[in-house]
Amino acid sequence: MTLASPRGSAKTAAIPWSLTSVAASVLILAMFLILASWLLVPYPIGSAVRGYFYVVDRKIVLPAYTIIDQSDDKNVDYSYNNSLSGSNLELPTKISNCSSVVDDDENARVSVRSSVDKDSLPSESNVELSSSGKDSAESKNSEMLEKPVELPKPPSRATENKADNSSFASTNASDSHSVDSGCDLYNGKWFYDPQGPSYTNNSCPVITQMQNCQGNGRPDKEYENWRWKPSECDLPRFDAKKFLELMRGKTLAFIGDSVARNQMESMLCLLWQVEVPENRGNRRMQRWYFKSTSVMIVRIWSSWLVQETTEIFDFAPEGVTKLHLDAPDDKFMEFIPKIDVIVISSGHWFAKQSVYILNNEIVGGQLWWPDQSRPMKVNNVEAFGISVETVLSSMLTHPNYTGLTIVRTYSPDHYEGGAWNTGGSCTGKEKPLAPGKLVDNGFTNIMHEKQVSGFERAVKKASNKSKLRLMDITRIFGYRHDGHPGPYRSPDPNKITKRGPDGKPPPQDCLHWCMPGPIDTWNELVLETIRREFEGHQYSTS
């Protein structure tokens, strides 16, 4: 006896085939989307800048070995022995004994330590750089590993309490609407804080080796304990949780040269003590992401902040850097619409060989001028002032930029007895200068003056909704000759750290700042500036 099939059995039999087809289609679509995302993430589209900052192709975490931050500098001899680089600065007032500087940013290695075996790493030496600026500019990226490094909290250090060592006034160059309203942050004194820094060289893995003074054998540590106290209010210790909450969902970018990199690493070290960030850096910029608050810390390299080229221009040959003083650097300008806070700084590269172009005409040069019979219209100091006005004006008139720009003023160096390559030294400086002992540096003063003048001219051109604030650290940090690496810029156990029998000092860095050290104060000032802008002009009275 044959059983009849139930009515509609043909349709029922077709159902599994339809579900299989749908499932297969969904799977294929998902694979296509994953593949497309994988292809797009490493090569972000320029117009999708927000995606460029926040998109993730995979979780990238801190490596447990050295990251090399390479340079696009072609004119600096990093052995501190090239007298043709960074010297003979032209000053309109003919000031003598002006300090030249070495901006050795991308020469520095970043010392990355595992919390498990941080003391057993081999010593590192400086990196010899490529002479090709274009090649090295394209190679600014960090190498990554797969596992995050868990780091200990910095130990508290009880130290003998000491009396205040410095008290002085500094000029305030900001306008009445600046961060200084209510309390002048830049008039005060340095005082000794026995609590010490918020981190140590062993609790932060992103310190560039040349700024790791304790790791390089510096014997004294008092320079880490001096903090800045404004006369009319308190400058609170850096509160990492407060910073991340204020910046929730926002991006902070440090734009400039190696001193900007120095400050960016200080910021990372301060924040690292409460949260280990994800490294999302790529070829174009360094990026560190704090997942708890979706805060991104960015660093964009820009030597002069204005457009530069090495191509032939008029009577300037190929290979020599040409600076278009009236055009901002596109390498960072394209990103500013999606950045919420920018800390911008420059100046030290104007000691390097370069040609100055203004209104499509060569108007001057530094360490380059082939025709001595032809007078220069613009020297390096004046070129710096023009560049500041150009960059800030471009930011204040950009139709799509609404962020807060903090201009950190010219960072003083402390080469005594010569420039970096002519026997200048800061060896043996262990505490801030005492009140009234500051020796004015003519070159630093005039660079600061040109920067402030450029700032003030730019303010008058403002047309967008962005805000511009001056963080005037130049004079107060003139007292901190103790805060530089000096001869402790290398982990080499056989390095020379004292003057020789002939009195000649060892090679040293009196421009960048030890970490931890005085530079952490810059980020306390950044936090207070941001807090006042986001919360209103309230401040803690002393």
Whole-number Å distance between alpha carbons of 346 and 350: 9
- State residue 500's pLDDT score: 87
* pLDDT (0 to 100) of residue 454: 98
From residue 184, alpha-carbon distances to 38, 339, 435, 471, 535 in Å are 50, 27, 19, 11, 17
pLDDT, one tens digit per residue, over 427-475 is 999 999 998 899 889 999 999 999 999 999 999 999 999 999 999 999 9
pLDDT digits (tens, 9 = 90+) for 132-176: 333 333 333 333 223 333 333 333 333 333 323 333 333 333 333
Task: Give the Cα separation of 33 and 425 in Å (integer).
Answer: 59
Q: What is the mean pLDDT of the chain?
A: 76
For residue 28, the model assigns a pLDDT of 75
Among candidate residues 348, 414, 484, 512, the one labeled active-site is: 512
Percent of the chain with pLDDT over 70: 66
Q: Is 96 a catalytic residue?
A: no
| Integer Cα distance of 296 and 290 in angstroms | 6
| Stretch 75-95: mean pLDDT | 31
Half-sphere exposure of 35 toward its Cβ, with a 13 Å CA cutoff? Answer: 6
- Taking the C-alpha atoms of residue 339 and residue 254, their distance in angstroms, rounded to an integer, is 10
Active site residue: 85, 142, 170, 258, which one?
258
Residue 492: predicted pLDDT: 94
Pick 523 or 21 by higher pLDDT: 523
- Per residue in 281-307, pLDDT tens? 988 899 999 999 999 999 999 999 999
Is residue 512 part of the annotated active site? The answer reads yes
Range name among 38-52, 56-70, 456-470, 491-505 with the lowest pLDDT average: 56-70
Q: What is the arithmetic mean of pLDDT over 93-101?
A: 35
Q: How far apart are CA 404 and CA 402, in angstroms?
A: 7
| Annotated active-site residue in 73, 104, 413, 509 | 509
Residue 82 clears pLDDT 60, i.e. is over it:
no
Range picked from 67-71, 131-135, 177-181, 231-235 for highest mean pLDDT: 231-235
Tell me: pLDDT of 89 over 50.
Answer: no
- Per-residue pLDDT tens over the stretch 323-358: 999 999 999 999 999 999 999 999 999 999 999 999
Residue 509 catalytic? yes
Instruction: At 191, give phi and psi (nearest 5°).
Output: -130, 155
Residue keyed to tokens 């390096």: 380
Per-residue pLDDT at 21? 67
Structure tokens at 38: 């994988």
Residues β-bridged to residue 308: 323
User: At residue 15, does pLDDT exceed 60?
Assistant: no
Per the rule left: phi > 0, alpha: psi between -120 and 50, beta: everything else, 148 is beta
* Predicted local distance difference test score (pLDDT) of residue 435: 85
Q: Which residue has the tokens 């000031």?
A: 95
Q: Which residue matches tokens 């080229």? A: 309
Tell me how far apart the alpha carbons of residues 208 and 261 are, in angstroms, rounded to a whole number.
Answer: 9
